[in-house]
Amino acid sequence: MRKFFVLFLLALMYSNAFALKYYTGIGLRAGKFNTGLTFKHFYNPDNATGLQLDAYYSNIISGGYIVKGFAIKQIPVKIPIIQLPLDIILGAGLEVGYFPYRKDPVYIGYYKLKNKRPEQYGKSVVVAGVDATVQVEYQVPFKIAPVTVGLDVNPFFMFYHRGPEWIDFGVALRYVFR
């Protein structure tokens, strides 16, 4: 196990020489709850730090709209066995959202869990919270297509009008600009 860990750290350090270099990516994300537009921009040529902005239609319970912003850090990794250059992207940020109320007998509306039972807000709800993101991204070589494909996990906590969910999974496809 110790040898594997040392080899993994050496591969991680070695992989920084093969960092994928692009400045901006615009695309779509499809997730468990949130689906919509995603925008990512890196501030410097080594892609170390940047900003990600997302605008989603959210199908958490009732359907609503969410905007998220993340400060992100990119860590290039090259998996030695298959020689696949991946980027691990870590980020933290904020989100705001709006869930409109509709009068419909079948419609539950936005709610929170209280003692493991749903408690409805019974009106249109504005939500705010904190987010984190962990992403694994692959950049298709520019000769083939200037796109990236990514998988992400986004845990979140709503501190204003809590909802019943706390984590989202998704797949993103972005067109990238150098």
Delineate the domains of the chain, giving CATH numbers in brackets: 2-177 (2.40.160.20)
pLDDT value, residue 45: 62
pLDDT value, residue 63: 79
CA atoms of 104 and 109, how far apart (whole Å) = 9
Structure tokens at 109: 């509306």
Q: Reduced to 3 states, what is the DSSP secondary structure of residue 18?
A: helix
What does the pLDDT profile of the chain (178 residues) look like in tens digits? Answer: 454 443 443 443 443 334 446 788 899 999 988 899 999 998 876 668 899 999 999 887 667 899 999 999 988 887 777 777 888 899 999 999 988 877 766 666 677 777 777 767 777 888 899 999 999 998 888 778 889 999 999 999 888 887 777 888 999 999 988 7
CA atoms of 51 and 41, how far apart (whole Å) = 5
- For 31, 132, 144, the CA distances from 167, given in Å and listed in that order, are 10, 10, 34
- For 25, 38, 167, the CA distances from 74, given in Å and listed in that order, are 14, 16, 21
* 7, containing H or E segment: helix 2-15
pTM of the model: 0.76
pLDDT value, residue 108: 66
φ, ψ of residue 62 in degrees (nearest 5)? -110, -15
Q: Which residue from 79, 84, 91, 89 is spatially nearest to 12, judged by alpha carbons?
A: 79
pLDDT value, residue 170: 94
φ, ψ of residue 2 in degrees (nearest 5)? -65, -40
